[in-house]
Chains A and B, each alone.
Chain A
Amino acid sequence: MRTDPPSQLPGGVARIPQGDEAELAARARAGDRAAFGTLVERFAAQARRVARAVLQNPDDADDAAQDAFLSALVKLDQYDPRRPFGPWLMRIVANAATDRRRRRAVRQTEPLAPELAGGASHPDHDAELRVLGERLRVALAQLPERRRLAVVLFDVEGYSHAEIADILGIPEGTARSEVFHARRALRVLLQDWKEEG
């Protein structure tokens, strides 16, 4: 059974289409700055989200994502153009984020404000979403790092279990298991939030 997620995810979440990235990478490798710029534009949001899944702090995550892009630029000769560019780049992003977390004491996520801790009234929709976002980030931070990455890569970025396995350097079955366990934890939180609302 094919487990690859669709390229167009429900809810307007679209996976970055594969296609000309190999060509862009080849041009960037040959010194075409515009091609590199296109790759950065195309993958910036994804790289920042994946880095944030590891580092929590958005500034640290942006630093890691930037490191990853610069590292990718230098390593472009190692990219196999027969394979999709996204997983190759996300592997570099995940490694950059993990390295950064190990190298220095990462600024801790701000403690959850009492009004966000649950049971608070939701004055408007934006505030509700902010509450949910904060609670999801806190819940995500409590998961093991590999599990966080797996669920973000699968449910947010639309990578398949096989691609996640490749990105994280783990067996496909392990990637599947990590996604499963992460979802189970996060769904509980999501369900509680809905019931509170």
Chain B
Amino acid sequence: MKEPSLPFDHRPDPELGAALRAALEPGDPAAFVARVLARAEGRGGHATWEILARWARAGIAAAAAAALVAGFAVGRVMQSPTTLDDVMVASASAGANALLSSPRAPDASVVFTSLVERDR
């Protein structure tokens, strides 16, 4: 059943509010505030702010290290592919080895040369 809408339902009840406030009133506000601020300053001498800042510094360092590693990896991939000369100086079988063992992608001329060697 729907409860009737009563006027007092729309405004705070000062009498009830004051009684509840008195019943719930906490003690010693200054001590509580000091306690919270001390906790915010940190446990064991480590301020929360400093910890947050340290996290930020660690995050920046980690991001820089990751960027360095990524850059190195990309740089290796972007290096010039195995050249025709690399293959020409090797023997016929070594040409295929050079292709397979190289960490770099071969260019089309190397693949072509390798196929020609195989057909000889």
Contacts and interface: CB of A to CB of B under 8 A. Distances in A.
B33 A44 contact: yes
A9 B17 contact: yes
A49 B32 contact: no
Given A11-B17, A40-B36, A180-B3, A45 B12 contact: no
Nearest to A63: B35
Contact of A53 (B3, B24, B33): B24
A48 B20 CA distance: 13
A185 to B, nearest CB: 11
Contacts of A45: 25-26, 29
Contacts of A100: none
Nearest to B47: A33
For the residues of B in contact with A, the DSSP-based class is helix
Interface in A66-84: 66, 69-70, 73-74
B14 A44 contact: no
B13 interface: yes
Contacts of A152: 20, 24
Contacts, number: 124
B120 interface: no
B76 to A, nearest CB: 38
Interface residues of A, number: 52
A158 B12 contact: yes
Nearest to A136: B23
Interface string B4-25: 0010111111111111111111
Given A9-B14, A45-B29, A156 B48 contact: no
Interface in A100-149: 129, 132-134, 136-137, 140
A61 B37 CA distance: 17
B72 interface: no
Contacts of A183: 8-9, 13, 16
Max count, chain A CB within 10 A of own CB: residue among B8, B11, B27: B11
A156 B29 CA distance: 17
B39 interface: yes
Nearest to B3: A180
A39 to B, nearest CB: 10
B7 to A, nearest CB: 10
A58 B12 contact: no
A13 B18 contact: yes
B63 to A, nearest CB: 18
B40 A70 contact: yes
Given A9-B17, A186-B20, 16 more contacts: A6-B11, A13-B18, A33-B49, A36-B37, A41-B33, A44-B33, A58-B26, A62-B26, A70-B48, A74-B48, A74-B52, A133-B23, A134-B23, A136-B20, A183-B9, A187-B16
16 contacts: A9-B12, A11-B14, A33-B41, A40-B36, A40-B37, A44-B32, A45-B29, A53-B24, A58-B26, A58-B27, A62-B35, A73-B40, A74-B48, A156-B21, A158-B12, A187-B13
